[in-house]
Structure 1
Amino acid sequence: MTRIPSQPSTTETGNVVITGGNVLDVVAGITRTADIRIENGRIREIGIDLNRSGAEQIDATGRVVMPGLIDAHVHLTAFSADFRELERNAPSYIYAQGSRIMRETLQRGFTTVRDLSGADHGMARAQEEGLLVGPRIFYCGHALSQTGGHGDMRLPGEDHAPGSRGCCGIGTVADGVDAVRAAARDEIRKGAHHIKIMASGGVSSPTDRIDSTQYSVEEMEAAVGEATAANRYVAAHAYTARAINRALRAGVRSIEHGNLLDDESIALFLEHDAFLVPTLVTYWALKEEGREFGLSEGMWQKVDTVLETGLDAIRRAHEAGVNLVYGSDLLGGMQRHQNEEFRLLAQVQPAIDAIRSATVTAAELLERSGELGVVAEGAIADLLILDADPTVDITVLADIDKHLVSVIQGGRIVTTEGITR
């Protein structure tokens, strides 16, 4: 596969016809041979022998055309597994690293991402304007955390104010209903597409236990209330069933991780039509490489707690009909394993359902159904052209560097080498 350059190499005609491809309908789970006409960044027509006059033409005969992938849990500025590094470095360096991460993410076929702390208005705007090559960004800004919670990176012996030693940490500490309301309103002011709260302990924070619950129900409800008032939603980091269930009852839309869910959790997901974003690959990668990329020994020892139960949680949720969405949550140099999540998911669900989690279901979570995650008339023209069918063999996506022929994002051809034009 051709590397995507640091500067865009795109077709600017706004008028493209892809001919002869096997188009994957992710909703129906089938492919059919058809042409796709793209105008002004959107799919205008799908059919046989479409009018090609005045259009850039791509012959995709024998190839599979599918929607661009969506990763619903990334950290685009996390160049290290040690989040404290983000507080020690200059903003210019953080965003230079972020631009590299964005470019490499697009190269892996992810045309849209949901950032769960790190990216901000500037990165999203730069991508939208073509200043940064990378996926379309839906961001939360800073995650909201209680003192000593998963977003508080101070060590036990540090007494400085949270966030006072750097610009670019992942969290903002807000204690109490009024402070949570103010923090949520501030992220919304800065353009956040969603609010993230820390509802339990985590692996990469230095002073909390994974099995702790964080934020009172009243504080979580305050965040949900502010998000709802602004037509936004809340995503909650939560591992244990107790933390998951409290957050779902408080009205959050998505649970991030959710490895230790129970039967009550599954019932609550279904009752609230909420979404589960498991991130199995990050635990696999942290166990294999976390210490090499900045994870402390104490943090590394937490990984087993969530790694062993994750696959079973996904299997149970899938069988019950819970909305499952693709997320990687990889940090530092481990981000190169982003597509490995497909191989893990396929152990407990059919390939087409793993694909749906990274396309149509992810788009539903993002509140962009019909626009993203589908090859359909009227949708944004985010497309991948592959040399094999991932519904038959999920390793086509897991090993995408071997199979990705072209990325089309918003109707612009990012790279086309290997395709007859």
Structure 2
Amino acid sequence: MTRIVFSGGRVFTGRATEPGDVVVEGDRIVDVGIGLDGDTVVDATGHTILPGLFDCHVHFMFSGADLVRSLNTPFSLPFYEAIGNMKATLECGITTVRDALGADLGVAEAVRRGLIQGPRMQIAVNMVSQTGGHNDDWMQCGAHISPPLHPGLPDTVADGPEELRKVIRTLVRHGADIIKIASSGGVMSPRSNPRHAHFRDEEIAMIVQEANAAGIAVMSHAMSGDGILTAVRNGVRSIEHGVFLTDEGVEEMLKNGTWLVPTLMAPRMVLDQAAAGVAISDVILDKARTVVAQHTQAFQKAHAAGVKIAMGTDSGVGPHGDNLNELTLMVEYGMTPAEALYATTTSAAELMRLGNELGELAPGKLADLVLVEGDAEQHVKAGTLKQSVRAVYQNGVNVI
């Protein structure tokens, strides 16, 4: 088996970058150190070698927040658009994602079988919401405005523990690797309020119980302080967004070991699209403007307290391929560049229960590597990391 050595670069260790070489055989890293040899040499002089990056919150089947466009898009077109969305994400060096709503088992299998190129993924299939919640597509005119459900995407609006038990089992049947719920309202749903908690304790307890029985975890879209608390005390693995996080919520997350996936980009992507002329309702824009400042404070509060943080963007709400801007925002609001990279590698791998295989450059791990020209930490700070990616390897194969 050919032994490939990435030689002469600097290796990100999880907390810092140090001089080093990385040796790959087949789909695995077999050695990391100084002065290593191989059958084939990839000259990494002047480059930083990173583990494959993670984005723990994407939507490959979405291509922006333009409702009018989506209503005029043929049903099958988003499946083809997803191919480009995946490639744009892979080009950033992101080799693993959680698709938080939209991609069905067929989309995931197309990547797993090598039919299309993209990050390996865990899929939520659809988001579980209460009636009138963040995934209820009812509009004031009386119409339902989401694309029609298809056999791979079951209806997931439900109320009460027994309805929810059925929904979770249905999602597992449909191939869900992760269960996503909405324990609060959100920005993009015009009839829900981000400050209001959704689902009661007994409902989320049932969701988590059924997910655990299937060997999978629960991620919760949670903006309101009470919605965060209800989700955390009932055992969800991660809080997505966490906009109105309270001190009590921080304490509960620390006690339970819950991750925060902040998606600082998400409301900003909505506002950027509106500024570019996309037709977005005033109701949604008002909510996006309201949450931005509070979102930043919540992130800073969680980081300062030592809450576990993993990188996620909500790409799909805005453009795919800009994912690494999230790292720069994380640094702007208090993280060091090394901490932001850790959140995008080791911490994210642990959140997704992939730490035994990914997230670090270490012997025995899958050979996902990203070659970045120059100092990756400086690029994170400057917002130039994407432009500096020179090669991406997934399972030992040069894919970009």
> In the alignment, what sits opposite 1:24?
12
1:289, distance to aligned residue in structure 2 (A): 1.8
User: Does the residue aligned with 2:30 lie in a helix, a strand or coil?
Assistant: strand
| Residue from 241, 257, 260 that aligns with 1:276 | 260
User: Does the residue aligned with 2:376 lie in a helix, a strand or coil?
Assistant: coil
* Contact preservation (8 Å) 1:145, 1:171: no
* Contact preservation (8 Å) 1:75, 1:118: yes
> In the alignment, what sits opposite 2:391?
406
> In the alignment, what sits opposite 1:69?
53
- Corresponding letter in the other structure for 1:297: D
| Residue from 293, 296, 299 that aligns with 1:308 | 293
1:83, distance to aligned residue in structure 2 (A): 6.3
The CA distance in 1 between the partners of 2:157 and 2:66, in whole Å, is 18
> In the alignment, what sits opposite 1:357?
343
* Contact preservation (8 Å) 1:163, 1:172: no
* Contact preservation (8 Å) 1:150, 1:200: yes
| Residue from 16, 19, 22 that aligns with 1:36 | 22
1:317 aligns with 2:302: yes
> In the alignment, what sits opposite 2:148?
165
Unpaired runs of 5+ residues, structure 2, are none
1:294, distance to aligned residue in structure 2 (A): 4.7
> In the alignment, what sits opposite 1:371?
357
The CA distance in 2 between the partners of 1:123 and 1:287, in whole Å, is 29
Q: TM-score, normalised by structure 2?
A: 0.93
| Residue from 331, 334, 337 that aligns with 2:319 | 334
Summarize deviations over 1:149-174 as a string: whole Å, max 9, x none.
100112123266x9783438796212
* Contact preservation (8 Å) 1:151, 1:171: no
The CA distance in 2 between the partners of 1:159 and 1:393, in whole Å, is 46
CA separation of 1:287 and 1:89: change in aligned 2, threshold 3 A: closer
> In the alignment, what sits opposite 1:6?
none
> In the alignment, what sits opposite 1:46?
32
Summarize deviations over 1:206-265 as a string: whole Å, max 9, x none.
211121211122111111001111111111111111110111111111100001111100
1:14, distance to aligned residue in structure 2 (A): 6.6
The CA distance in 2 between the partners of 1:336 and 1:47, in whole Å, is 32
The CA distance in 2 between the partners of 1:202 and 1:284, in whole Å, is 14
1:261 aligns with 2:245: yes
The CA distance in 1 between the partners of 2:379 and 2:386, in whole Å, is 15
Summarize deviations over 1:122-149 as a string: whole Å, max 9, x none.
1221112221111111111111111111
Summarize deviations over 1:313-356 as a string: whole Å, max 9, x none.
11111111100111111335533432211121102111111111
Alignment of 1:340-351 (within 5 A): 340-347=325-332, 348-351=334-337
1:293, distance to aligned residue in structure 2 (A): 3.9
> In the alignment, what sits opposite 1:187?
171
The CA distance in 1 between the partners of 2:326 and 2:147, in whole Å, is 35
| Residue from 361, 368, 373 that aligns with 1:382 | 368
User: Does the residue aligned with 1:337 lie in a helix, a strand or coil?
Assistant: coil
User: Does the residue aligned with 1:338 lie in a helix, a strand or coil?
Assistant: coil
Identity value in percent: 35
The CA distance in 1 between the partners of 2:19 and 2:72, in whole Å, is 52
The CA distance in 1 between the partners of 2:69 and 2:124, in whole Å, is 20
* Contact preservation (8 Å) 1:42, 1:380: yes
- Corresponding letter in the other structure for 1:302: K
- Corresponding letter in the other structure for 1:363: A
The CA distance in 2 between the partners of 1:377 and 1:290, in whole Å, is 47
1:114 aligns with 2:102: no
Alignment of 1:49-198 (within 5 A): 49-53=35-39, 56-82=40-66, 89-158=73-142, 165-167=148-150, 172-198=156-182
1:88, distance to aligned residue in structure 2 (A): 6.5
The CA distance in 1 between the partners of 2:101 and 2:7, in whole Å, is 39
User: Does the residue aligned with 2:128 lie in a helix, a strand or coil?
Assistant: strand
Q: Considering only aligned residues, what root-mean-square deviation do their CA atoms show, in Å? A: 2.2
| Residue from 223, 231, 234 that aligns with 2:207 | 223
- Corresponding letter in the other structure for 1:408: Y
Summarize deviations over 1:173-222 as a string: whole Å, max 9, x none.
12221111111111112221110011100011121112121112211111
Unpaired runs of 5+ residues, structure 1, are 1-12, 416-421
Q: TM-score, normalised by structure 1?
A: 0.88
> In the alignment, what sits opposite 1:7?
none
The CA distance in 1 between the partners of 2:318 and 2:312, in whole Å, is 17
User: Does the residue aligned with 1:79 lie in a helix, a strand or coil?
Assistant: coil
Runs of 4+ in 1 over 4 A off after TM superposition: 82-91, 168-171
* Contact preservation (8 Å) 2:223, 2:245: yes
- Corresponding letter in the other structure for 1:364: E
1:108, distance to aligned residue in structure 2 (A): 1.4
The CA distance in 1 between the partners of 2:10 and 2:17, in whole Å, is 6
1:19, distance to aligned residue in structure 2 (A): 1.6
* Contact preservation (8 Å) 1:69, 1:111: yes
> In the alignment, what sits opposite 1:3?
none
CA separation of 1:86 and 1:180: change in aligned 2, threshold 3 A: farther
CA separation of 1:332 and 1:315: change in aligned 2, threshold 3 A: closer
* Contact preservation (8 Å) 1:280, 1:311: yes
User: Does the residue aligned with 1:46 lie in a helix, a strand or coil?
Assistant: strand
